[in-house]
Amino acid sequence: MPDQSIPHARTPDAPTAEPVSGTSGISRRALLGTAGATGLVLGAAGGAVGYASAPAEATPLTSVGAGRVMFHGKHQPGITDGLQARGHLVAFDLAAGAGRKEAAALLRRWSTTAERLMAGEATPHGDTDVARDAGPSSLTITFGFGYSFFARTGLEKQRPGALDPLPDFSSDHLDRSRSDGDLWVQIGANDALVAFHALRAIQKDAGSAARVRWQMNGFNRSPGATAHPMTARNLMGQLDGTRNPKPADPDFDQRIFVPASGEPGWMAHGSYAVVRRIRMLLDDWEKLSLAAQERVIGRRKADGAPLSGGDETTPMDLEKTDAHGDYVVPLTAHARITRPDENGGAAMLRRPFSYHDGVDTDGTPDAGLLFICWQADPLRGFVPVQRKLDRGDALSKYIRHEASGLFAVPGGAAEGEYVGQRLLEG
């Protein structure tokens, strides 16, 4: 779990949550009176929500419900957007006999559904009304292709070299049935019912073309639960992600997105997602003293500041020693090992969810992190950092990697396009 953070403030380079608008007609929910008053400010996005022809008795959505992310754009949604309160990760395998034609029809259906749901509208057919009373709630739906997809569709020549299977790591205890997959979908929203509604719609749209291979459900802190925006905490109680690259960084796009001139051409403005289910061995972790936990991470638990001093954003002093001549930030500290300047500049954008799936038969919690990281090339992002973690990360004693996947996530769909169209119809 590299020591990097998700940016909280929107920047001009990041997709912004926008108010629900009437540009494509009044949504079903607006007509039902679940949205429509003017003057509602959308948090950091700062947009006013309003319907020119909304019924006078309409009740305004809260800022959480009104947040909207656009489906069409240079990049797919769900990559640079802020952490959401609820998430679902689901992988599909194409059905026997399904190929390129069926995959194209499926991506077309999925894209239509995603565009409507992200706008706060009903699904095109047979909406379940699960999210009837809610707005878009910053819903994002993101689509990717696994290594096996290309052989199934006869597109091996279009498979990116960066999608080659990840190497084995010493921390791996992988369940292959919950790893990989032909297709991958990431769903996130700030309302649990909105996220579930999208999940069911995507699963129903798969029809006879694809079947679910695995599904994982996660969560984060709800928006507005803290006095001010702050780095998220994980289930170990640590601020998780302090040194994440930010869209305002001059080299952000270079590190996270495939360039317009990149190969293959259909991946222009896309990114690669590494997905890892990381179990936290919480019973062992919680037996450690506060000081011992902080030495494992290399940062103070209370505020995320490096043990060398300062606050969360203070650069870590790797050379600082204590009265005994020992490094204040131990050589095996997680935050020291994952620093980009300690890994040849390797960096990735982390956008995880926590998970808790009950307890094992022995009472051990099945809980941890659905680790998702984004990079222009996993061989220069995730792989070198994970290899170094394998060689001496103090945190490795308290976590276990139980599932893994790598997916090529193409750039965003333009108006009138569906996600992956340049691959499937190129």
* Beta strands at 399-409 and 271-280: parallel, antiparallel or unpaired: antiparallel
| Average pLDDT, integer, range 126-139 | 95
Q: Which of 19-23, 139-143, 274-278, 365-369 has the lowest mean pLDDT?
A: 19-23
| Average pLDDT, integer, range 79-92 | 97
**CA 113 to chain CA centroid, nearest Å:** 19
CB 348 within 8 A of CB 340: no
Give dist(CA 275, CA 178) in Å, integer.
Answer: 11
Task: Specify whether 240 is catalytic.
Answer: yes
**CA 384 to chain CA centroid, nearest Å:** 21
Q: Which of 3, 81, 93, 240 is catalytic?
A: 240
Strand partners, 210: 94
Q: How confident is the model at residue 62, as a pLDDT?
A: 80
For residue range 325-369, what is the model confidence (pLDDT) as tens digits?
A: 999 999 999 999 998 887 888 889 999 999 999 999 999 999 999
Give whole-number Cα distances, 9 to 228, 245, 384, in Å. Answer: 11, 13, 29
Number of residues in the chain: 426
| Closest by CA position to 139, among listed 204, 195, 178, 193 | 195
Strand partners, 290: none
- φ, ψ of residue 104 in degrees (nearest 5): -65, -45
| Average pLDDT, integer, range 186-192 | 98
Give buried/exposed letters for 316-355 (b at 16+ CB in 10 A, else e). bebeeeeeeeebbbbebbbbbbbbbeebeebbbbbbbbbb
Cβ count near 178 (within 10 Å):
17
CB 203 within 8 A of CB 77: no
Q: How confident is the model at residue 426, as a pLDDT?
A: 85
pTM: 0.87
For residue range 37-58, what is the model confidence (pLDDT) as tens digits?
A: 333 333 333 333 333 344 445 5
| More confident call, 30 vs 349 | 349
Helices assigned H by DSSP within 174-258 = 192-206, 252-256
Q: How confident is the model at residue 61, as a pLDDT?
A: 80
Give whole-number Cα distances, 296 to 5, 60, 114, 236, in Å. Answer: 18, 47, 41, 12
Q: Reply yes or no on whether the pLDDT at 3 is more than 80.
A: no
Give dist(CA 247, CA 251) in Å, integer.
Answer: 9
Q: How confident is the model at residue 48, as a pLDDT?
A: 34
**Mapping DSSP to helix (H, G, I), strand (E, B) and coil, where does residue 341 land?**
helix
Three-state SS annotation for 65-101: HHCEECCCCCCCCCCCCCCCCEEEEEEEEECCCCCHH
Structure tokens given for 306: 């490096």
Q: What is the mean pLDDT of the chain?
A: 88
Q: How confident is the model at residue 34, as a pLDDT?
A: 40
| Average pLDDT, integer, range 93-114 | 98
pLDDT band of 28, cuts 50, 70, 90 = very low
Structure tokens given for 16: 């912004």
For residue range 205-260, what is the model confidence (pLDDT) as tens digits?
A: 999 999 999 999 999 999 989 999 899 999 999 999 888 999 999 999 999 999 99
Give whole-number Cα distances, 179 to 89, 94, 166, 174, 175, in Å. Answer: 11, 15, 12, 8, 7
